[in-house]
Structure 1
Amino acid sequence: MSSPLPVAVLGGGALASRISEQPDVVVAEQSSAVVVVHLSADFDEIPDHLRAGRDVVTALPLEALPLDEIRDACRAGSSTLHATGGFQSAVAARLTRSLAAATREITRIELIEEIDLPEDGVYPWNTVPDNALPGYYFAGLRVLEAAAFPDVSSEAPVFHAEDSGAVHTLGERVGYRSIRTRGVGGVPLRYRLATTTAAGTATATVDFHPTDGIHPADHLTLVELLKAVRPIHASEPGIVLRDLCITHLAPDDRLPR
């Protein structure tokens, strides 16, 4: 078994303490860490870590990051960044790719996220500023689009606030609705994916339940981030890797070497 990697954890609240309990990593001071697990909404410090030679795994969406500065920092520090866009991107892509594999005639997809939030912080809904949340969903829209359609839309994502949450759309073919409740009970996290073709609309529903007392939203984020830590540290520097557990490792052309 390989030795635990020394990592520094920035932000995350209760989620940060869960990371410290994992056997594959050991939480260290920033100066002695080889990888930084970034759970803060503040991206200003990310280039500094990369420039200092520390690889960074962040749940921030790639679209929220200053790519030119990130690219320069990766080259200066021979380091690597992995931006996940939060756990919902991974869930959406897996589900959508499974359905897209069965039919290439999808004309519209809509993902409905139902999350019941406890009083304690759950990343990112009540642990980052509200104005940062749309960026996570915009990243999710792009992942949904890439999973179901061969071409990439040039349209900008649109945000619509609702009393119970928000709706995010990408043109007419991709929608991502978040419905948030507090203390209702029942299923704490549920995804409903509706795919439309000329023949009709199909719906798939996935429920997530607590694992070892941790909210499934935090658990999924934890799993995705920890899966990325060791491969990112072993990767060549100067590239952004996305959807690590869904597709093979590949350079992101927005951050060339």
Structure 2
Amino acid sequence: MITPIAVLGAGPIADRFAKNSDVVVTEPDSAAVVIHLTADADEVVTQLRAGRDVVTALALRALPVDEVRAACRAGGSTLHATGGFGSAVAARLTRSLAAAAREITRIELIEEIDVPGDPVFPWNTVSEDTLPAFYADALKVLHEAAFGDEPIESPSVAITDSGALHTLGDRTAYRSIRTHGAAAVPLRYRLIIATAAGTSTATVDFHPTDALHPADHLTYRELLTAIGPIQAAAPGIARRDLAITYLRADDRLSAPSPGHRG
């Protein structure tokens, strides 16, 4: 069955949806799911309140959670906050590798991204005030992968023209290094795990797909794979696709009672 979707936002990711034969791009009034690609958090609330399910590429931390919860209840709608950009894939990789290690003492993820002059979501398409929210969500996933339910501190975030460093205490770090049109590999993730026995490093390179920057391709895939689950989910649940193979409810948004979609 072909799903009617609306895409709010322009650029290479929106263009890729328009070329996908599994969906048909229409206006929001006729859409089953709204794909949200802009930095306008208020638009997410508006669409949810109107009764439309929304898959947003914004990180959940960048959204007004109380307003989103109220809009979901008013519209009987569902939000899927993927935090959907390249680090979502890195988070899955991290969970897999961290699960294979025992007694981790420190974990660090290094992201190397080459950002050309063209728009690449979200590095040069959202405001500097919004960008840290993406990394804060990914940092939380990184910490949970290594240390489970251990209490989490507030992230420390520092952003410069050449990148960013995000930390949770002394044990978890997420470093982003940006270049501009000079790197041979446009997107690379390097995971460093330290244990009492030693240190291990795993590196994964991502290359362009159909001339699309790998960061945009990964974001597109995150959003695309959320379309089915959001239609099957109960109204009012925010789900972040940051686990390895499954979706999980986010405890910051609870489902309204009663009711599930049939």
TM range (shorter): over 0.9
1:87-142 per-residue CA deviation (whole Å, 9 max, x = no partner) reads: 23422222212222212311211111111112110101111112211111111101
Matched with 1:192 is: 190
Q: Which runs of 5+ in 1 are unaligned?
A: none
Whether the 8 Å CA contact 2:59–2:137 is kept in 1: the answer is: yes
1:10-67 per-residue CA deviation (whole Å, 9 max, x = no partner) reads: 1242211111111221111111112111111110111111111110001111112111
C-alpha distance in structure 2 between counterparts of 1:23 and 1:135, whole Å = 32
C-alpha distance in structure 2 between counterparts of 1:9 and 1:205, whole Å = 33
Matched with 1:62 is: 60
1:246 deviates by 2.4
1:249 deviates by 3.3
Within a 5 Å distance, the mapping from 1:91-240 to structure 2 comes to 91-240=89-238
Whether the 8 Å CA contact 1:89–1:143 is kept in 2: the answer is: no
Helix, strand or coil at the partner of 2:42: coil
In the superposition, the TM-score normalised over structure 2's length comes to 0.92
C-alpha distance in structure 2 between counterparts of 1:73 and 1:133, whole Å = 24
Whether the 8 Å CA contact 1:90–1:246 is kept in 2: the answer is: no
C-alpha distance in structure 2 between counterparts of 1:78 and 1:244, whole Å = 24
Whether the 8 Å CA contact 1:92–1:143 is kept in 2: the answer is: no
C-alpha distance in structure 1 between counterparts of 2:85 and 2:194, whole Å = 24
Whether the 8 Å CA contact 2:59–2:133 is kept in 1: the answer is: yes
Helix, strand or coil at the partner of 2:249: coil
Matched with 2:259 is: none
1:181-222 per-residue CA deviation (whole Å, 9 max, x = no partner) reads: 111141010001101111111100000001111010000000
How high is the sequence identity, in percent, across the aligned residues?
65
Whether the 8 Å CA contact 1:12–1:127 is kept in 2: the answer is: no
Whether the 8 Å CA contact 1:123–1:217 is kept in 2: the answer is: yes
Matched with 2:69 is: 71
C-alpha distance in structure 1 between counterparts of 2:98 and 2:230, whole Å = 28
Amino acid at match of 1:153: P
1:244 deviates by 6.2
1:163 deviates by 4.5
Whether the 8 Å CA contact 2:95–2:243 is kept in 1: the answer is: no
Amino acid at match of 1:252: D
Helix, strand or coil at the partner of 1:202: strand
Coordinate RMSD, CA, aligned: 1.5
